């Protein structure tokens, strides 16, 4: 179905065309006429199916732009989703000159109050901050006619039901309600009964729970091997854009540190980071400046990032729904995707739970060997060298480099490159805290060391307390390349690929 068959204003159709769409997705084709007819609607669909426009377009159409009051309210589970929704609605409504703002925690409330004073017609927000504004009397909802509960199952999981209830007390009772949810558990149906009137249900085939465009793999890996296995996979698979999920905020921090230490272009995102940081990291990832985004489930749902080629479940999700959401970040908008889930022996039950829900059997993936991984790194290095050579107009250099690379044992050369490429070679041993705290850690009164960077990563907890100074000294060879002439003459980063056998 084409958009122009949906009785939408020309102003909206122009914006849709600008966005590059002509064909409506199933949820849009089915939902838009219903919303326009004024009935309550339950939409069972995930982000990436065109959900936002399916409520956004009819809402924008019915907005009276002469009316300075807030006429539509959209409640989102996470701040990032609120921002994303606001941006999309603003884009779709640009020719209607409707004003859409987002209010959410972690950002300056005074600025938001100013924006609220400027008479927006649509407000997108997260529950906590919406309530905050209501209490401050800076958010007036008495003219709201449409309410959207976006990702309702997610909001339910996060315990927002009471908040939503309090927010809705401030909305006139005869409003139209639209509820979106990827899954439809009983509590969602209860909410629907409570807040909605004879809702029409639009269901997008549950068969598409996990798109078949996603190749789903699993890797059996013990906890302490996971990190190495994953980085080897990176080297072999060379993801364009990878999303890596960890179970806790702390593990996300550790993983990020570890990946950075090994020279991967990685950043983390979770709820304890400042909102500013969250936004900037997400922006970097969306614009491709960042290849590896390590995240808690804050990024599992709703976020629409195009071009995620790989999703890695470093920690398998305990909740099967979470798995569906996580891998749904890839294989979007017609692209194919790959997901890899790491499973340790005591996590097999989670795996079974997931496979039962999705009705898909994950293909076992053999962890790459060191040699395979190094070959992968080598290829990447080759490409980089070639690229740089072209860039510097030193085309002659490329064949020479090729030759060099072919001449030497890849293993030796790759190890060397590794050492040269990584920003902090000493930090290469990475230690990720095990899931459960280790039993007694021989508490001999000194807890000065091992938190954090885990440099040196002794796996053996023997009490060699004098060992403090036995760092292996093979990095004694001076890494400081301050040889009189500074090398910032060359604009780009230059590296010395000196070939020297390892002692």
Closest CB to DNA among 104 and 264? Answer: 104
Q: Which of 101, 150, 127 is nearest to 301 (CA)?
A: 150
Applying the rule CB under 7 A, the residues between 256 and 285 that interact with DNA are 270-272
Longest CA pairwise span in the chain (Å): 79
Closest CB to DNA among 235 and 253? Answer: 253
Contact between 163 and 134 (Cβ < 8 Å): no
Q: Which of 9, 372, 35 is nearest to 180 (CA)?
A: 35
Cα separation, 367 vs 364, in Å, equals 9
Q: Least distance to DNA from the beta carbon of 347, Å?
A: 12
Q: Least distance to DNA from the beta carbon of 471, Å?
A: 32
Closest CB to DNA among 232 and 257? Answer: 257
Q: Report the phi/psi class of residue 454: left, alpha or beta, with left for phi > 0 and alpha for psi in -120 to 50.
A: left
Integer angstrom CA distances of residue 481 from 139, 477, 484: 59, 11, 9
Closest CB to DNA among 135 and 465? Answer: 135
Closest CB to DNA among 104 and 227? Answer: 104
Contact between 479 and 498 (Cβ < 8 Å): no
Q: Least distance to DNA from the beta carbon of 234, Å?
A: 23
Report helix, strand or coil for 273. Answer: coil
Contact between 227 and 293 (Cβ < 8 Å): no
433 binds DNA (CB under 7 A): no
From residue 151 to residue 190, what is the string marking binding to DNA with x (rule CB under 7 A)? ------xxxx------------------------------
Residue 186's Cβ-side half-sphere holds a number of Cα atoms within 13 Å equal to 0
Identify the residue among 40, 235, 267, 297 touching DNA (CB under 7 A): 297
Identify the residue among 22, 318, 346, 359 touching DNA (CB under 7 A): 318
132 binds DNA (CB under 7 A): yes
353 binds DNA (CB under 7 A): no
Applying the rule CB under 7 A, the residues between 69 and 128 that interact with DNA are 77-80, 104-106, 109, 125-128
Closest CB to DNA among 403 and 435? Answer: 435
Interhelix angle 370-391/223-237, rounded to 10 degrees, is 40
The residues of the shown chain that bind DNA, judged by CB under 7 A, are 77-80, 104-106, 109, 125-132, 135, 157-160, 247-250, 270-272, 296-298, 318-319
């Amino acid at each position: 179905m084409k958009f122009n068959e949906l009785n939408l204003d020309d102003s909206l159709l122009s914006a849709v065309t600008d966005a590059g769409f002509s064909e409506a997705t199933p949820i849009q084709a089915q939902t838009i006429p219903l919303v326009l007819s004024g009935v309550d609607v339950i939409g069972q669909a995930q982000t990436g199916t065109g959900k936002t426009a399916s409520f956004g377009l009819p809402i924008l159409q019915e907005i009276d732009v002469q009316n300075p009051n807030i006429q539509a309210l959209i409640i989102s589970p996470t701040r990032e989703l609120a921002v994303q929704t606001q941006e999309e609605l603003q884009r779709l409504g640009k020719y209607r000159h409707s004003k859409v703002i987002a209010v959410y925690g972690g950002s300056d409330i005074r600025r938001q109050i100013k924006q609220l004073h400027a008479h927006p017609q649509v407000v997108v927000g997260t529950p906590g901050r919406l309530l905050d504004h209501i209490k401050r009397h800076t958010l007036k909802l008495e003219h709201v006619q449409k309410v959207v509960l976006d990702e309702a199952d997610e909001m339910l999981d996060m315990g927002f039901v009471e908040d939503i209830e309090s927010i809705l007390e401030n909305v006139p009772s005869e409003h139209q309600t639209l509820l979106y949810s990827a899954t439809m558990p009983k509590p969602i149906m209860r909410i629907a009964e409570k807040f909605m009137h004879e809702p029409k249900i639009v269901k997008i085939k549950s068969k598409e729970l996990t798109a078949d465009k996603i190749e789903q793999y699993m890797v059996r890996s013990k906890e302490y091997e996971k990190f190495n296995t994953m980085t080897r996979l990176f080297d072999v698979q060379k993801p364009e854009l990878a999303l890596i999920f960890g179970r806790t905020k702390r593990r996300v921090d550790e993983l990020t540190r570890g990946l950075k230490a090994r020279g991967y272009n990685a950043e983390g995102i979770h709820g304890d980071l400042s909102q500013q940081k969250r936004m900037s990291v997400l922006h970097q990832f969306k614009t491709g400046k960042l290849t590896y985004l390590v995240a808690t489930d804050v990024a599992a749902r709703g976020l629409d990032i195009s071009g995620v080629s790989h999703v890695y479940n470093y920690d398998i999700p305990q909740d099967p729904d979470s798995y569906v959401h996580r891998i749904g970040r890839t294989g979007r908008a017609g692209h194919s995707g790959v997901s890899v889930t790491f499973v340790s022996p005591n996590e097999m039950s989670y795996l079974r739970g997931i496979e039962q829900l999705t009705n898909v059997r994950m293909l076992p993936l053999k962890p790459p060997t060191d040699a395979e991984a190094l070959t992968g790194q080598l290829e990447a290095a080759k490409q980089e060298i070639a690229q740089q050579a072209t860039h510097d107009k030193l085309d002659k250099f490329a064949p020479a480099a090729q030759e060099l690379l072919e001449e030497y044992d890849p293993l030796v050369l790759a190890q060397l490159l590794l050492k040269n490429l990584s920003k902090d070679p000493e930090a290469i041993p990475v230690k990720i805290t095990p899931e459960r705290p280790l039993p007694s850690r021989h508490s001999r009164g000194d807890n000065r060391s091992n938190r954090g960077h885990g440099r040196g990563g002794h796996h053996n907890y023997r009490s060699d307390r004098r060992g403090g100074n036995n760092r292996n000294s093979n990095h004694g060879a001076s890494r400081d390349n301050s040889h009189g002439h500074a090398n910032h003459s060359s604009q780009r980063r230059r590296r010395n690929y000196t070939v020297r056998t390892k002692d």
